[in-house]
Structure 1
Amino acid sequence: MATSDSGSPPTEAPVRNVVIFDVDEGGFATARRADLGRWLRRALDETLTDAGRTLADRNLAQVLKEETERAEMGNAGTYEGAPIAGFAVRTKITQADFSQEFNPAYTNFAGFDVSAECEYASCVKVTVDVYTVPELERVKDFRNQASGSKSEEVDTESDCREMDPRMLRRTSRDAMAGLRESLQNYFASPGHVLAAYDWNGPMRQGSCRLMISEDNHAPLFTGT
């Protein structure tokens, strides 16, 4: 589930532009070996693009990232360059675990031989922080985690894999997929009015508007 501080996304240009920093892999060797940062960055790019946002030039991200880190440290960092975006997004991997367990072959109570196997487990946790530009104020944070497991038959314990990069990548994408709806709801462009209806009656007076998002997804009904 996503958690947040407070604040709502602005709605004026250049807010449609978003700067996405390269994913911080948190110093985890497993994340580095599985190249999780690149996989998460790709998933985040797709999520925000589908929400109708324009991704700012990646070459500008490093300067903005340094200023954001200064702001986080309490040194009053601020972005003073040309207006390039309304938001900056920083993603960090806070856990990237992979474990294995060897189960030797045995004969069960019914007399059947059970092959040796290795059991694998993975867990990835991610946080996505949203900052306003140029203030570099953190206004929203999203958190999620995902886990995975599988087993395979082996001959000996030495046949167990030290790590399975593909399994970790799938787990990382599952963690980001769990945030997809929350992120898109936050960054979604405002809808436009398709039609309006008024009603009057002895008990109530008001109006109802039929709205639909810019990408023609499901309509929303709002009333007063």
Structure 2
Amino acid sequence: MKKLITLTTLSVALLASGCTNVPKTTPPTLGADYELEKSAANPSPKGAQANKVVLFDVEDGGLAAVKEAKLDNTIKSQLDRSIRNGGGQVVDRDLASGLKEEIKRSIMAGEGSYQGAPVADYAIITKVSNATYGSSFDEAWVDDDGDKHPAECDYSASVSATVNVYTLPELKRVKSLDSEDSASTSEETRSSDCGGINYGGLLRSAAKDSMVDIKGQLKSFFAPVGYVTGAKLYELDEGQVVLKTSLTSDLGAKPGGGVEIARVQPNGDRYKVVEGEIGKPVLQSGANVVVEKASADKIKIGDEVSLDYSCSFMGCKFDEAIGQ
């Protein structure tokens, strides 16, 4: 047990402080301009912008447990939190409720685009495919050391859902995330009739954890998008280059944070180019990002820069528990 506590404490310390030194990108560390080509799709990049998201009511799949346990509120609340924590903007829910049927009709009719008001960049439709619960009884028993263990009732619940993300107005599904989790508890009993629990709490716990499991992917997907606006040689390491970007601290940029640099083609296709690390300090005009010089020639002015919210090696639930 002592080793486990020590490992957990060390893990928390590493995540809280960062596993590596944050690169310093103050003016004295920046050298001559490093020439980059201009992106054909975005040759004159502007400032960063946050993604606007329409979050629709959760579809219950005809499962009575979803309504009984009010899983709609639990799931929407967790999705809302993940999107906002990642720097995205969630459109007013009253407005969203009026759009859902219009967008669903467009999807079902295969119209290929949404013709309504341009209120958001993305729409999320979530459907619960499983919400089950049950119990089992364990009789009293004696272990090999002679210790007595009382009879117990074990209660469990599981929830599965699919989160689909559509672009607006194109109505193109660009992300589909399957989530599944469970929750359980037990209590000592004198009766094999395990019916003394309200399963709503377990179902809500399972639903919340299922959304936590995909929060890193959601935050990264909806993270605000900045752009590469220039580059300079890095005086502290000749094997690295510093990129000037339009991603600001107001949109979540923090020293030591990871970013993904992506290329958007004229036809709208997007693909990852390289990864980088935000230097310190983060300037009001935008963050400096340090990348390997060997990768710099792949980057173009106008390429997208977004924060990487991937969960740590300890997992999404661990990150959630320590507030990461």
**Range class of TM-score, shorter chain:** 0.7 to 0.9
Amino acid at match of 1:37: D
Amino acid at match of 1:98: Y
Q: Which residue of 1 aligns with 2:207?
A: 172
Tell me, yes or no, if the aligned pair for 2:48 and 2:224 is still in contact at 8 Å.
no
- Number of residue pairs matched by the alignment: 211
Gap regions ≥5 residues in structure 1: 1-10
Q: Note closer, same or farther for the CA distance 1:134–1:14 as it changes in structure 2 (3 Å cut).
A: farther
SS at match of 1:22: coil
Q: CA RMSD in A?
A: 3.2
Tell me, yes or no, if the aligned pair for 2:61 and 2:128 is still in contact at 8 Å.
yes
Q: Which residue of 2 aligns with 1:8?
A: none
Instruction: Give the alignment's TM-score, normalised by structure 1.
Output: 0.79
Q: Which residue of 1 aligns with 2:243?
A: 209
Tell me, yes or no, if the aligned pair for 2:152 and 2:189 is still in contact at 8 Å.
yes
Amino acid at match of 1:90: I
2:225 to 180, 186, 190: 190
Tell me, yes or no, if the aligned pair for 2:163 and 2:177 is still in contact at 8 Å.
yes
Q: Note closer, same or farther for the CA distance 1:221–1:215 as it changes in structure 2 (3 Å cut).
A: same
Q: Does residue 1:103 correspond to 2:138, yes or no?
A: yes
Q: Note closer, same or farther for the CA distance 1:105–1:78 as it changes in structure 2 (3 Å cut).
A: same
SS at match of 1:135: coil
Q: Which residue of 1 aligns with 2:89?
A: 54
Distance 2:143 2:154 in 1: 19
Within a 5 Å distance, the mapping from 1:151-162 to structure 2 comes to: 151-161=186-196
1:98-138 deviations in whole A, cap 9, x for unaligned?
A: 12111233556666543221112221112111111122221
SS at match of 2:171: coil
2:58 to 3, 23, 29: 23
SS at match of 1:183: helix
Shift of 1:33: 1.5
Distance 1:30 1:78 in 2: 34
Q: Does residue 1:221 correspond to 2:256, yes or no?
A: no
Shift of 1:159: 4.5
Tell me, yes or no, if the aligned pair for 1:67 and 1:78 is still in contact at 8 Å.
no
Q: Which residue of 1 aligns with 2:185?
A: 150
Distance 2:99 2:172 in 1: 12
Tell me, yes or no, if the aligned pair for 1:129 and 1:138 is still in contact at 8 Å.
yes
Q: Which residue of 1 aligns with 2:11?
A: none
Tell me, yes or no, if the aligned pair for 1:21 and 1:89 is still in contact at 8 Å.
yes
Amino acid at match of 1:128: V
Q: Note closer, same or farther for the CA distance 1:94–1:198 as it changes in structure 2 (3 Å cut).
A: same
Calculate percent identity across the aligned residue pairs: 32
Instruction: Give the alignment's TM-score, normalised by structure 2.
Output: 0.57
Gap regions ≥5 residues in structure 2: 1-45, 258-277, 279-288, 298-324
SS at match of 1:73: helix
